[in-house]
Structure 1
Amino acid sequence: MTQDVNVRTTPAMQARKGWYPFNAEQTINILSEFGPLVTMFVVNAVAGIEAGTWALIVTTLMAIGVMFYMFHRPPIFPLIASSVTIAFGTLTLLTGDPMWVQIKVTIFNALFAVFLIGGLFVKHNFFQYVFEKTFRYTDEGWNKFTWSFAFFFILTAIANEYVRRTFHDDQSYLLMGYEMSGVNVWILFKIAIVLPVSGLYAWVLTRLMQKYRLPDPAHD
């Protein structure tokens, strides 16, 4: 018969959580989202969109493998996002059109925001279901957490679509002294703006959510 083991939080762990509130699983999830994009940016700049898309797909598959190896279970949200990335990356390879990789963010973020909001209306909070073993919040806290991320997904979908439509792949743009294609401008936007803003947003939201946090189970 097995027993659950509760890990005591040491002062050093509490201090670390004060400035870095993400655990190992969340850190790997973040890296699995943006690591393939960084690889695509570099490869696309050197060898073109087809090679860059292959790099995106291969590194995404590698990220899925790492997540399975580390946690011995399918991480639901990253797995969904990675599967969509592979599907749209394959469409780009088949058609030769980078639009599929770019528009994936718009479609996925917008639909996921609708999914989150719909879940709230039918009293099925997706984030609570997925993360309740990582975070312990009140029902009010989970609802505010989910509403906040739903609106954030909508804003990132709008921003992604604006950049995608503004910077075209058949044109060159001079940014920071470098000549870039529209795809590389889009990838740079994801890495240099969306990545730090997403991290900052998640950090601030996690800090704000502390007032809704439930006490940890008592140790035996």
Structure 2
Amino acid sequence: MDKTQPHPLFKLATELGPLLVFFVANAKFHLFVATGAFMVAVVAAMVASYVVTRHVPLMALVSGTIVIVFGTLTLVLHDETFIKVKPTIIYGLFAAILGGGLLFGRSFIAILFDQMFNLTPPGWRILTRRWALFFLGLAVLNEIIWRTQSTDFWVAFKAFGVIPLTMVFAVTQMPLIKRFHLEPASLEASEAAEGDVSKG
């Protein structure tokens, strides 16, 4: 089924909206209410994405599933540890997917981010390695913050820290993408579009 390319503001809203709901609910009530609201908002964002684009990005699908599982554990067991460790699991999983793919000569960046890059094989390797290390760094940072800081500080970081950090990191990768960019008409580009980093 063909998917409609969403407006950048719509994509940002579906990513940032649930986090804002989480932040506001925690500020007005407490973490457990915020967790329930966050779960509802995440599901609503995925439904909205499917209605508008007839497609749910893989990253959103994986993240949403983990949110539901760990959010449910948080509410059922009344233990906030589960929702706090959830980002660590997500970032660690993304790092493992990207790093593991490299071991087999594959790059899953285009699939993970639901967009297409046309890069040379060396470009794929470098970009994938950088994103894998970035996600690993986010996992470590989340562990440090939730274990050493207050719940309110952790929620604020989750809502207003992670996305800006990710956007800044993505922007810093643009010179690399331009340097290793391939025109889509070439055979090499077709291989690169599939994320094959075993050549070159």
Q: What residue number does 1:12 align with?
A: none
Pair 1:30–1:139, CA change in 2 (3 A): farther
Structure 1 residue 130, shift from structure 2 partner? 5.0
**Greater Cα shift, 116-125 or 28-37:** 28-37
Aligned-partner Cα distance in 1 for 2:169–2:131: 9
Structure 1 residue 26, shift from structure 2 partner? 6.4
Unaligned runs of 5+ residues in structure 1 are: 5-22, 168-181
Structure 1 residue 37, shift from structure 2 partner? 1.7
Unaligned runs of 5+ residues in structure 2 are: 187-200
Q: Percent identity?
A: 31
1:154 aligns with 2:136: yes
1:141 aligns with 2:123: yes
Per-residue Cα deviation, 1:153-182 (whole angstroms, up to 9, x for no partner): 111111100011102xxxxxxxxxxxxxx2
Q: Which amino acid aligns with 2:165?
A: V
Q: What residue number does 2:156 align with?
A: 188
Q: What residue number does 1:79 align with?
A: 61
Give 1:1-220 correspondences, 5 Å limit.
24=6, 28-130=10-112, 134-167=116-149, 182-217=150-185
Q: Which amino acid aligns with 1:50?
A: F
Per-residue Cα deviation, 1:121-151 (whole angstroms, up to 9, x for no partner): 1122211445685322222222211111100
For the 8 Å contact 2:39–2:71, the answer to whether it is kept is yes
Structure 1 residue 197, shift from structure 2 partner? 1.4
Pair 1:91–1:25, CA change in 2 (3 A): farther
Task: Provide the alpha-carbon RMSD of the alignment.
Answer: 2.4
Per-residue Cα deviation, 1:22-59 (whole angstroms, up to 9, x for no partner): x8476655543332122111111112122211110010
Aligned residues: 183
Q: Which amino acid aligns with 1:186?
A: W
Q: Which amino acid aligns with 1:198?
A: T
Structure 1 residue 183, shift from structure 2 partner? 2.1
Aligned-partner Cα distance in 2 for 1:117–1:27: 30
Structure 1 residue 216, shift from structure 2 partner? 4.4
TM-score, normalization by structure 2: 0.81
Pair 1:132–1:186, CA change in 2 (3 A): closer
Q: Which has the higher Rg, Structure 1 or Structure 2?
A: 1
Aligned-partner Cα distance in 1 for 2:71–2:113: 28
Aligned-partner Cα distance in 2 for 1:195–1:108: 14
Q: What residue number does 2:196 align with?
A: none
Q: Which amino acid aligns with 2:59?
A: F
TM-score, normalization by structure 1: 0.74
Aligned-partner Cα distance in 1 for 2:183–2:26: 48
